[in-house]
Amino acid sequence: MHRQLATVKDPEERAEWQKFLKKKEQAAYEEACMHNIGGVSDLAWIPADLNDPFKKDAEGKLLGKYVFKVRKLDELVNNDYVNCPTFEVHPDAAWVEKNILPEYVATAQKIACDFYERINPEGQRYDEQGYVDVSSLGVKIPLDTDPVNKLRYVPQHENKNGKVTCKEQWFGFCNAKNKKVILDNDYVNNNFSAGLVADVKAIGIKGEKKYIPIPPGDAKPRSSFPEHLQKGPKIKYKQAEDQNTCLVYSFASALHHIGAAQAASELI
C-alpha cells in the first residue's frame, strides 16, 4: 500500500487513495475477525418493520436483517473472550443462515419478533412492546387461573441527577383475556427458572438489539474442504497445528488478496 501511495503525487487523488485503502484495510480486518473461530460472539435479528415484526416476503421468510457482535481479537487479553471489545457487522442473510446453526438463527428471530410484537391490554389506551413469550411453561397468573403467555421486565429509570423516577417492575400478559398484571420479584423468581429470569431481564435492559450468544467452535485439522461451504480466495499464510496465529495470518492473507502484499508481509 505504501508503494502504491508513493506513486500518487496529486494531493486530492492521494487523499482519495488513502481513504480507499483505509476502507479496504478495515474490511479485511473485519473479515479476518468474523471468520476466526472465536470471532463472532453474539447474533441479533432486527425486523424490517418494527411495528409488524412478523412481516414476510413472497417466499414466507421473515423480513429483516442480522447483526453480529464480533470480537476485536487483536485486543484479546489473557484469552478473556467475555470482556474482549467488539464491533458490529451486518452480514449477508444467506451467509448467516448457511453458516450459523438453525437453532441460534431461529432463537434470535423469535426473541426480536416477540419483543416488537404490539399488544394492547384491556383498559389501556396505548400499545406496548417488550414481552417475551413464555406460553410453553404453563405458569398461571397469581390468584387466578389465567396463563402467563408473555413476560416483560422494565428496568429502573433514573433522571440525570440520579433520582429514581421509575422502579423496576415485572409484568405478565394473558393472550386469551388480553390482560396485563403486575408481578412481584418473589413470584417471578419462584415460578420461572433463574436462566429465563436473567434472559428476560437482559432483553429489557439491552435496548433495541436483542443479542444471543454464539459459542465458538473448535479448531480441528481437516483433510478436505467442507462440501457445504463455497471456497473463497487462496490463503497465502497458513497456520500450523501447534500455532495460535489464526487472526494475524487471516488478516495478512486478506491484505495479500486485495493487493497489499507489502503490508501483509510486514505482519508476518
The 169-174 sheet, strands edge to edge: 132-133, 150-154, 169-174, 179-183
Q: Quick one: residue 160, left, alpha or beta (phi over 0 = left, psi -120 to 50 = alpha)?
A: alpha
Taking CA 115 as the corner, what is the angle to CA 69 and CA 191, rounded to the nearest 5 degrees? 105
**Tens digit of each residue's pLDDT (9 = 90 or more) over 109-133:** 988 888 888 888 888 888 887 777 7
**Tens digit of each residue's pLDDT (9 = 90 or more) over 26-41:** 888 777 777 776 788 8
Whether the model pTM is above 0.75: no
How many angstroms separate the CA atoms of 166 and 157, rounded? 5
Q: Which three cell numbers stand for residue 115?
A: 419483543
Identity of residue 210: K
Q: Which single residue is written with the C-alpha cell 483505509?
A: 22
